[in-house]
Structure 1
Amino acid sequence: MTKLLVTGAAGKLGRAVLHHLMETGGITPGDIVAASRDTKKLADVASKGIETRIADFDDEAGLVKAFTDVDRVLIISTDELATPGKRIAQHKAAVSAAVKAGVRHIVYTSMPNPDKSLVSFAPDHLGTEEAIKASGIPYTILRNSWYADNYLMGMPHNLQVGTWYTAMGAGKVSNITRDDCARAAAAVLANPPAGNRIFTLTGPESLSADEIAARVANAAGKPLEVANVTDEQLTHGLTGAGLPGFVVQMLASADANIRAGNFDLVTDDFEKLTGRKPQNLTAYLETQKAALTG
């Protein structure tokens, strides 16, 4: 029997991975371990026969206990972005715990081009990849492109005012849905490729701001104009909207990264891993009309 553990199992990506492990990966609940800081949030998962364990990334000894007798671990990057240095420390603790617990394969959710990315949290991913490579444990790194789901945060407001202020410039980005990333992670966890591999997961097309706005407007049934602004103007506007500093930095740096061409890539890695095409942005947005107009 092979034990597969998913960290961050109470989060959106983690829950989706659990779903795909059972639905498309053919893994029985008894072979899956769902790990989270708060296992109370996994009561519904436990009711399906999946074992739950406490996994606090600030407690390496606890992580060793959680990873014990587990063959493969999916390390989902944490959401600790507010405190500089905390996220990479957590990830390194998880990698160290995997070594101590005798884990045989690590799967990690990273991002495209972390070595040259301008996104504020890119150093966390690069440092984690380096720690995994140095661990000696066979690994599969999944570099997830910018989620299509991220548009649901700002686009409803943009549609209300009819304008999307962006510093993307003429840059393009290939979005992929969170669910597709979960499907790929489940496929790798269930049947990891031999050796050490890195896959970049993207959608089927790379789009400009105008092309994205047109798709959003069509799905919502509302007009949406693109207003190109500078990094400084975008930062000022996001700050004025009351967003936390680390969120402002993340969003502004993501636009700068798109403008620099670092998100302008399309691969067939998702199809290689899952045997199916990734959902395109148009199809995804059509399923999200209520969220866009709510």
Structure 2
Amino acid sequence: MVVARHEAAISAAEAAGVRHVVYTSLSGDGDHVTYALAHRWTERRLRRSSLDWTILRNGLYAELLTWIAAPDADNRITGPLGEGALAVVARADLADVAVSVATDPAPHAGRVYELVGDRALSGAELAEALGATYEPVTLAEARAAAAASGAQPFQVPMLASTYSAIAFGFMDGSGVKSDLRALLGREPQDALEVFVAAVRAS
């Protein structure tokens, strides 16, 4: 169980005299997905700990879209994103922020940073960028396809809750104020370009 593993890690850090933990969590607009629970529990546990801490609330990766919104063999994006959009971030940008904070953590002690993309991408925009069509299936159809694909049992509800949160507009970045640009000290990578490159490389 994720919570048990995180409890063990934090307790071990306290016992070992670790001074500062930088935790990569989930963006604040992600509370409606199933995997948010462990992240929010861990954030609360860190606040109660004897450690200095910094929480990096990462938006979902632009590269993740190659799993949940890649075109099929008929060049259709069928992921049930509805009319929603997702403020994804390049993994490399999130890694750069994590390195910057971890190598000089003191100024960031007790801070929670939201790291979501500047621009939310819809299913129609993803399809247009690839010269594909956007023909979303129902959530039930997506769940059934995921279950039949050999996915692990825990992955099916994770996927379904992600689709639902996107479709209902919870993860378009409008519910949080992003610290990504300030912590990077530069322009973030264009998430749409990252998605297209990842699809073409897969």
Structure 1 and Structure 2 fold alike (TM over 0.5): yes
For 1:147 and 1:100, how far apart are their aligned partners in 2?
Answer: 33
Structure 2 counterparts to residues 110-121 of structure 1, below 5 A:
110-113=25-28, 117-121=31-35
For 1:289 and 1:243, how far apart are their aligned partners in 2?
Answer: 20
For 1:136 and 1:159, how far apart are their aligned partners in 2?
Answer: 49
State the AA in 1 paired with 2:180.
F
Match of 2:160 in 1: 252
Is the aligned partner of 1:99 residue 2:14? yes
Is the aligned partner of 1:273 residue 2:183? yes
Q: Across the two proteins, how many residue pairs are aligned to each other?
A: 199
* Identical pairs, percent: 32
State the AA in 2 paired with 1:87.
V
Structure 2 counterparts to residues 62-211 of structure 1, below 5 A:
86-113=1-28, 117-153=31-67, 158-192=71-105, 193-211=107-125
Q: Is the contact made by 1:87 and 1:124 (CA closer than 8 Å) also made in structure 2?
A: yes
Offset, 1:201? 0.8
For 1:283 and 1:138, how far apart are their aligned partners in 2?
Answer: 37
For 2:34 and 2:166, how far apart are their aligned partners in 1?
Answer: 13
State the AA in 1 paired with 2:165.
N
The structure number with the bigger radius of gyration is 1
Point out where structure 2 has 5 or more consecutive residues left out of the alignment: none
For 2:198 and 2:74, how far apart are their aligned partners in 1?
Answer: 19
For 2:64 and 2:178, how far apart are their aligned partners in 1?
Answer: 22
Match of 2:194 in 1: 284
For 1:137 and 1:268, how far apart are their aligned partners in 2?
Answer: 25
Q: Is the contact made by 2:93 and 2:184 (CA closer than 8 Å) also made in structure 1?
A: no
Write out per-residue CA displacement over residues 180-224 of structure 1, whole angstroms, 9 at most, x where no aligned residue.
111100000012224311111122201211112222x1xxxxx42
For 2:188 and 2:157, how far apart are their aligned partners in 1?
Answer: 29
Offset, 1:159? 3.9
CA RMSD of superposed structures (Å): 2.0
Seen in structure 2, the aligned counterparts of structure 1 residues 163 and 289 have a Cα distance that, compared at 3 Å, is closer
Offset, 1:128? 0.6
Higher relative contact order (CA 8 A, sep 6+): 2
